[in-house]
Amino acid sequence: MFVSAAGADTNDGTKQKPFKTVGKALSSGRGRVVVCEGTYTESVEIKADVEIYSGVTCDFAKAGGKAKLVATKPEYAVSISSPANTVRFQSVDVEAIDGTEPSVNSIAMLVSQAQAVTLVNVGLSAKTGFDGKKGDEGTVGAMGDVGNDAMGATPGVGKSKLCSANTSGGAGGAAGANGGPGGPNLPENPAGATGAGGTSGVNCAANGFAGFGKNGADAPNATPAPKVTTQGTIATTWQPARGQDGVAGGPGQGGGGGAGISGGGGGGGTGGCGGSGGKGGLGGGGSIALLSIGAKVSMQASTLRSGGGGGGGGGGGGGGGGLGGNGGGAGANGCQAGSGGQGGKGGAGSGGAGGISVPIVYKGTKPGGDATLTFGTPGTAGLGGAPGVNDGPMGLAQNELEVP
């Protein structure tokens, strides 16, 4: 089959009436395609054994320049995959385009599982991977609930709120009884500690307010997400490494219930919920001239060039903790309950990996033969979310990368 930029896909693919696109010639199922000099804007998918030649003029009568395939999508300009096994490219240049969406790679040729791919006098050129997206910020935790008021001699019952874990206000004490402790224990709450219930048998306003329920403790902030240590992985293509998500902060401790004197004590307010964790930043798209996955590729007198890797996306900051709820009011001659503590701040997401700039990336057999390799600039590391720790790794810029 013959292809010329001046042809038409309604032609029969002969020298006299060549097709316009390589894709149309491949769909004919013939085993050899001759492409005359010129530029062809298309991404080509090969799933059958074929030989593709150029280096001829468009009358197909004498030696000429090389054909150039320019991609229409960034994932690849040429894809070779099963059931294709034996494929030969000769005197053809292949050019990728820039990534167009977050984390999208720029790949000139993607070869998967084919066991006999030969590149002779071929140029593979990748462009720039797209930057990774910044991770979403965490959301502020829900506020705690106000404790229940006492009604005369009837104490306010303890109130519970479910966050990432339960937080509860202490029950108010009945007449002559101590108030109950708030939970969870942050730390353990003996008499006089945070979240402890009020002590009966004293005047609410005397002796350091011993009859009042104690305010709950604030929850500690969650730690930032761990740092990403890999550049990426390979499944069906190169997948840049994204940052890890932060975890939610814990709930604040509930306030202690007020003591009952002759009237009931108020119920403690619940703690506020912790903020949600920030999301990890996405990895920057890679720039790869040849990506070989479980394939065998040999090269002769070929040139492979990668461009720039995309920058890694920053991690999102953790959301702030919700404020604790106020303590419930007391009945006549009862004691006020304590307020709940504030929830902990969510952990920040870690930064995504910077995009790689590597002419040859492979999983399995290393492509071999005679090729000139040139790499570009690596993508910058994604910054960790506030407070700014656990940045992603800087992208790689080197000739080859083996991926386990």
DSSP letter assigned to residue 19: B
**What per-residue confidence (pLDDT) applies to 203?**
67
Q: 2-17: buried (b, 16+ CB within 10 Å) or exposed (e) per residue?
A: bbbbebeeebebeeee
Q: What confidence tens digit (pLDDT) does each residue in 268-323 have?
A: 999 999 999 999 999 999 999 999 999 999 999 999 999 999 999 999 999 999 99
User: How far is 136 from 339, CA to CA, in rounded Å?
Assistant: 31
Q: Where are the beta strands (DSSP E) in 200-352?
A: 232-234, 238-240, 287-293, 297-305
DSSP letter assigned to residue 202: S
The answer to whether 76 and 107 are in contact (CB under 8 A) is yes
User: How far is 29 from 40, CA to CA, in rounded Å?
Assistant: 20
> What average pLDDT does the chain have?
94
Structure tokens given for 320: 């702030």
User: How far is 127 from 123, CA to CA, in rounded Å?
Assistant: 13
Q: What confidence tens digit (pLDDT) does each residue in 236-257 have?
A: 999 999 999 999 999 999 999 9
Q: What confidence tens digit (pLDDT) does each residue in 197-236 have?
A: 888 876 675 444 567 889 999 999 999 999 999 999 999 9
Q: What distances in angstroms separate CA 187 from CA 177, 181, 184, 191, 347, one per listed residue?
A: 23, 12, 8, 12, 21
Q: Which whole number is the average pLDDT over 394-402?
A: 98
Q: 115-148: buried (b, 16+ CB within 10 Å) or exposed (e) per residue?
A: eebbbbbbbbbbbbbbbbbbbbbbbbbbbbbbbb
What residue type is assigned to position 339 of the chain? S
Structure tokens given for 55: 């280096």
- Reported as a pLDDT band with limits 50, 70 and 90, residue 189 is very low
For residue 38, count CB atoms less than 10 angstroms from its CB and return exposed for 0-12, middle for 13-18, buried for 19 or more.
middle
Q: Sketch out the chain's domains with CATH numbers.
A: 2-135+284-313+354-399 (2.160.20)
Cα-Cα-Cα-Cα torsion 23, 29, 31, 35, nearest 10 degrees, comes to -30
The answer to whether 250 and 167 are in contact (CB under 8 A) is no
Q: In residues, how long is the chain?
A: 404
Q: Which long-range contacts (CB under 8 A, 24 or more apart) does 374-377 make?
A: 374/303, 374/304, 374/305, 374/306, 375/305, 375/306, 375/399, 376/128, 376/287, 376/305, 376/306, 376/307, 376/308, 376/309, 377/307, 377/308, 377/309
By DSSP bridging, strand 238-240 and strand 232-234 are: antiparallel
Q: What confidence tens digit (pLDDT) does each residue in 375-384 have?
A: 999 999 999 9
